[in-house]
Amino acid sequence: MKTRLASLLQQAISSLQSQGELPNEVAPTIKIERTRDASHGDYASNVAMTLAKAAKKNPRQIAQSIIDHLPADADVSRVDIAGPGFINFFINPLSQHSVISTIIEQGARFGTSNIADGKKVQLEFVSANPTGPLHVGHGRGAAYGATLANLLTAIGYQVHREYYVNDAGRQMDILATSVWLRYLDACDQSFTFPSNGYKGDYVLTIANNLKQQHGDKFLANAADVFNNITSDEPAGGDKEKHIDALILRAKELLGQNSYTLIFDAALSSILGDIRNDLEGFGVHYDDWFSERSLMDNGAINNAIEKLKASGHMYQKDGAWWFKSTDFGDEKDRVVIRDNGQTTYFASDIAYHLHTLERGFDIIDIWGSDHHGYVPRVKAALQAMGADPERMKVLLVQFAVLYKNGEKMQMSTRSGQFVTLRELRDEIGSDAARYFYVMRKAEQHMDFDLDLATSQSNENPLFYVQYAHARVCSVMRLLAEKGLAYQVSDGISNVNKLTETHEVNLVNTLSRYPEKLLQAAQQYEPHQLTHYLRDLATQFHSYYNSHKFIIEDQELMQARLALINATKQVLHNGLNLLGVNAPESM
C-alpha cells in the first residue's frame, strides 16, 4: 500500500510539473508513514511541505493541488489535508484483506525481501575472551547478534557470522598462568594465589585434568616460582606487576613447549565450552576467526606497514605509535611495544582491514564500555586507505540479572557470576533469547527471572507463544469435530471478515513486512518483539470475542484463513528471534 500511495503522489506531482505548477527540476523523496491516530487516516505524507520552498507556495496549497491531481484508486476512500500540509489517506477497510492469501501462499517467506540485493556483510558478535565461561552479560550480545543476522538475511543480505577469538595476548597468558598455579596447588605446593589471577571453578577443572593426563610433568617448587617476584596488592604491591612477573616465571620454568601445552589446554577447554554454550542457545557461526592467524598470515605486519607508509606512525621511547590524534582521538595509541610485541590495537586494526579486503562490509557488536575504541579503529582504517564508513559498530549494554527482586553479581576474574548455561537451564533458551532483545541494545536492561518463567499474560513471550498455540488448538478441535479447513474457500470468502476485530487483525498482519524491514534496517530487533506483542493482543481479543467453528461455512472458512495467517506470521517472527512457536501450552 505504501508503494501504491507513493506512486499516486508521484503521478500527481508529475502532472503538476507538466502544467508548470511545480518546478521540473525538483525530484522530491516521497515518504509514506502510517498515522498514529486513526482519525488522521491510515497513511500520511509530508511531500507537500518538502516542495514548498522550491515551489515558493504555501504547503497546504500544494497539498490541495496534489490531491486534485491524484489518480483514482478503488482502495483509497478519502484524502484530506491536515496541519501545515500533511496529505492523509483513508483506506477502504476491506482493501487489506488480500494480505491473507499472500501470507498463506508465501508461508515462511512472507515479509522477507531482497532489498539488500545480496550485499555482503560480516557480523562479528560476542567474541568474549576465552578466559572463562560465558555469563549472562554476554548472552545479550549473543541474542542480539544472532537475531540481527536473521533479520539482515531476511531482507537480502549475505550475512557472514563470525566470532573473533582473542587467542593471543596478556589475558590468555594470565589464564594459562592461573591454570598452572592451580595445577601446582593440586600437586600440594603451598602459596598464595595471585589476586589478579582467574579464580573460577573452571580453572580448577582444567588444572586437575592436566594433572590426571600428565602427572608431575609441569611440577615446580613454589619457592622457585615466587622467588624474587614483586609483591601482590594485598601485601602492598602492584597486582598487575605481580601477575606479569608470574607469567614470565611460568614461561621460564616450563619452557616453550610445556607452557604452550598448558596455554592450548586452557584455550581448547574454554573455547569448546563457549562453542557448545552458544550452539545450545541457537547461536551459530560461519567462522571462528583466530587472532593468532593474523600473525601467522602476515596480516598484522601488513597493517603496520600500511600505517607506517601513511605517515601516521612514529617512534617514541622504543615503541611505535599510531598518531590517532590526527583523526580526533584524545591521545596517540601504541601499536608496537618497546619490547617488540604488538598490541591488541594492532591485532584489531589488522583484523578489520583483513575483513574489508575479503569483500565484506563490517558490523561489529561490542559492549557499551568499548564506545571510546570505535573512533580510533576507524581512524586507523582511514589511515591505511580503507573506507571507515564500511565499518559500523553497534553497542550493547550488559543485562543485569534479578531474582526474587535481588540483583545478582557477576565478575569473570573472581569467578562469581551466573553463566549463560545456568540461565538457560533455569528459564529456557526461548525466554532468554526473547527477553534479551525486547529493548534497544544500547539501553540498560534489568532481566527479571521471575517474570521470564511466569505463565501469565504479563510475560510477553508466554503471551505471544500462547496466541500461536491457541490457533493450533482451534485446528485440533476442528479435526475432532470431523470438519476440515478448506484453504481456497477461506481465501475466496475473506470479504466476509467485516467485524472490527477482524479488520484490526488484518491491518496488523499487513504491517509485518514493514516492521521486519524497519527492524533490520535500523538494527533494532526489539521492534519485532513489540510487533508480535501487538499481533498477539489483536488475536487474543478476537479469540475472546468470536467463535471460529460455526454453522456459516463460508464465514467459518474465512475466519480459519485469518487465524492461520496469524499463526504463520507469529511463527515467522518468532523464528527470526530464534524462539520456538509451540503448538500447545
- CA 417 vs. chain centroid, Å, equals 23
What integer pLDDT is reported at residue 62 of this predicted model? 93
**pLDDT, tens only, 413-457:** 444 568 899 899 989 999 999 999 999 999 988 888 889 988 888
563 and 474 housed in the same domain: yes
In this prediction, residues 272-285 reach a mean pLDDT of 96
What integer pLDDT is reported at residue 413 of this predicted model? 47
Residue 206 lies in a domain: yes
In this prediction, residues 204-229 reach a mean pLDDT of 96
3-state secondary structure of 359: coil
pTM: 0.88
- Residue finishing a domain among 92, 126, 145: 92
Residue 512 lies in a domain: yes
What integer pLDDT is reported at residue 92 of this predicted model? 83
Residue 44 lies in a domain: yes
Task: Say which range, 53-67, 194-208, 406-420, 486-500, has the weakest mean pLDDT.
Answer: 406-420
478 and 572 housed in the same domain: yes
What integer pLDDT is reported at residue 532 of this predicted model? 98
What does residue 124 show for φ and ψ, rounded to 5 degrees?
-110, 120
What integer pLDDT is reported at residue 2 of this predicted model? 84
3-state secondary structure of 364: strand
What range does the domain containing 82 cover? 2-92
**Is the model's pLDDT at 146 over the cut of 50?**
yes
For residue 180, the one-letter residue type is W
**Is the model's pLDDT at 410 over the cut of 80?**
no
175 and 276 housed in the same domain: yes
Residue 464 lies in a domain: yes
Residue 150 lies in a domain: no
271 and 181 housed in the same domain: yes
Residue 396 lies in a domain: no
Q: What strands, in cross-sheet order, belong to the sheet with 319-322?
A: 313-316, 319-322, 333-336
> DSSP H helical segments within 197-343, as ranges?
201-214, 222-226, 239-280, 291-296, 299-310
In this prediction, residues 328-348 reach a mean pLDDT of 91
**Is the model's pLDDT at 508 over the cut of 90?**
yes
Mean pLDDT of the chain: 93
80 and 177 housed in the same domain: no
Q: How confident is the model at residue 371 (pLDDT cuts 50, 70, 90)?
A: confident
What does residue 142 show for φ and ψ, rounded to 5 degrees?
-65, -50
Q: How many domains does the chain have?
A: 3
191 contacts 181 by C-beta, under 8 angstroms: yes
What is the CATH number for 524? 1.10.730.10
What is the CATH number for 70? 3.30.1360.70
What integer pLDDT is reported at residue 40 of this predicted model? 85
Percent of the chain with pLDDT over 70: 98
**Is the model's pLDDT at 409 over the cut of 70?**
no
3-state secondary structure of 130: coil
**Cα gap 52→62, rounded to integer Å:** 7
What integer pLDDT is reported at residue 329 of this predicted model? 87
**Is the model's pLDDT at 215 over the cut of 70?**
yes
Residue 70 lies in a domain: yes
What does residue 77 show for φ and ψ, rounded to 5 degrees?
-90, -25
Helices 460-480 and 553-576 sit at what angle, rounded to 10 degrees?
140
3-state secondary structure of 208: helix
**pLDDT, tens only, 71-97:** 988 888 899 999 999 999 998 877 889
What integer pLDDT is reported at residue 268 of this predicted model? 96
Residue 570 lies in a domain: yes
423 contacts 468 by C-beta, under 8 angstroms: no
In this prediction, residues 473-498 reach a mean pLDDT of 96
**How many residues are given for the chain?**
585
C-alpha grid cell, residue 190: 603451598
Contacts for 581 with CB less than 8 Å, ≥ 6 apart: 465, 468, 567, 570, 571, 574, 575
**Cα→Cα distances 524→49, 124, 394, 520, 521, Å:** 29, 16, 10, 6, 8
C-alpha grid cell, residue 556: 467459518
188 and 88 housed in the same domain: no
- Residue finishing a domain among 212, 245, 280: 280
**Is the model's pLDDT at 230 over the cut of 70?**
yes
In this prediction, residues 350-355 reach a mean pLDDT of 96
**Cα gap 494→484, rounded to integer Å:** 17
- Residue finishing a domain among 280, 307, 340: 280
In this prediction, residues 456-461 reach a mean pLDDT of 92
**pLDDT, tens only, 522-556:** 999 999 999 999 999 999 999 999 999 999 999 99
